[in-house]
Amino acid sequence: MTRKKANTSWRKRDDVAGRPWTGSVREYDLVKELTIGVIVVGLLVLAVSAIFGSPDEPSVSLKGWATAAPADFVATAAKELGGTSDTAGYGPPYNSTPDASQKIGPLDLQSLAGVRLPVDTAKDFVIAPLETLPSPPAAVAGWTAATDQQRADWAAAYSDALAAAPDNDPAKVADGDYGPVPALTGALLDMARQGSLDGVLQGGGTFYNMDYTRSLLFLGDGGYFPDLAASQHLTGDQWGVMNETGDTPGQSWLWLFSLLYQVEPFKSSPNADALVVATMFVLTVLLTLLPFIPGLRSLPRKVPLHRLIWRDYYRNR
């Protein structure tokens, strides 16, 4: 008796799928669709890509920076030596600079994991690379033997002199007590122009290494890299994102991050990064739990947008 009821229930469910179609029908040309889909759409994609496609910009390198903007390179190297660059004062995960981390109220998320990627800008960006040369400049020994205060004074004096020099040209810097700083920055400039600095900063002491952290931090401390971003409308206040060749998914997932940086309270907050990340986390959780949240999960029924999209289907219902 139980088996008979189960079979009856199955037949009732099957009847729904077995009912004859009573809606409108039309002829379907598969060859025509294939022609349009492959040839016509393909030509349109190529044409639109040629007009609106993302630029295929060459990779930015330390060699390119040193060649195109040597004055900016030297000025940045002097800041790295003096510990006054953005990276030197960034805080976790690169260093333990006091009050440098961004917070959400009393919550200091940036410092939770501590300094996981320690970066000493003077040593990692200038001194250590120069020590890899077959004949390290004598200025390295002079820098190493000096006190911390003496190093800071030398670097600060040279940075000020560079800022006051015509066109910020290192060759036009006035005489002063700069210690080994001019020799160090000049040697680093030569090393970068030869292309060896890129490999040293990226290598990290190993042959196979795809870690560009130090190269990017050094680039970001100068003015050359941000100027390139501004020329491509990629700065934060320009809503810029770029999908470079080979990178996926590119800007399709970045637009909302960029949007938040343009509105208050994110726009003017010193903790903008932390606030944006927290906001995106909350939105992601809401999206994930949408099918389980009463009220929100009923919106498709209360706002019948699907009926407008499928109006031909619902017209006869």
User: Given this model, what pLDDT does residue 106 score?
Assistant: 86
pLDDT band at 57, cuts 50/70/90?
confident
pLDDT band at 240, cuts 50/70/90?
low
pLDDT band at 311, cuts 50/70/90?
confident
In the block, tokens 């004096």 appear at 157
Write the pLDDT tens digit of every residue in 126-161: 999 999 999 999 999 999 999 999 999 999 999 999
Give the CA count within 13 Å in the CB-facing half-sphere of 235: 11
| Percent of the chain clearing pLDDT 70 (strictly above) | 86
Are the CB atoms for 307 and 314 separated by under 8 Å? yes
pLDDT band at 13, cuts 50/70/90?
low
Write the pLDDT tens digit of every residue in 19-42: 788 888 888 888 888 888 899 889
Q: Select from 113, 111, 81 the least CA-distant residue to 99.
A: 111
User: Given this model, what pLDDT does residue 2 score?
Assistant: 47
* Number of CB atoms found within 10 A of residue 17's CB: 6
User: Given this model, what pLDDT does residue 205 score?
Assistant: 58
What residue ranges do the domains of the chain occupy? 62-231, 287-314
Whether 8 has a pLDDT exceeding 80, the answer reads no
* Number of CB atoms found within 10 A of residue 173's CB: 19
Q: 230 vs 56, which has greater pLDDT? A: 230
Helices (H), the chain: 2-18, 30-35, 41-52, 62-68, 70-82, 121-122, 128-131, 138-145, 148-164, 181-193, 196-203, 213-221, 224-231, 255-260, 272-288, 299-302, 305-309, 311-314
Q: Select from 279, 264, 76, 290 the least CA-distant residue to 185.
A: 76
* Alpha carbon distance, N-terminus to C-terminus of the chain: 39
Q: Which segment, 110-119, 156-165, 225-234, 266-275, is predicted with the most confidence on average?
A: 156-165
| Percent of the chain clearing pLDDT 90 (strictly above) | 44
What mean pLDDT is predicted for residues 55-80? 92
Are the CB atoms for 85 and 73 separated by under 8 Å? no
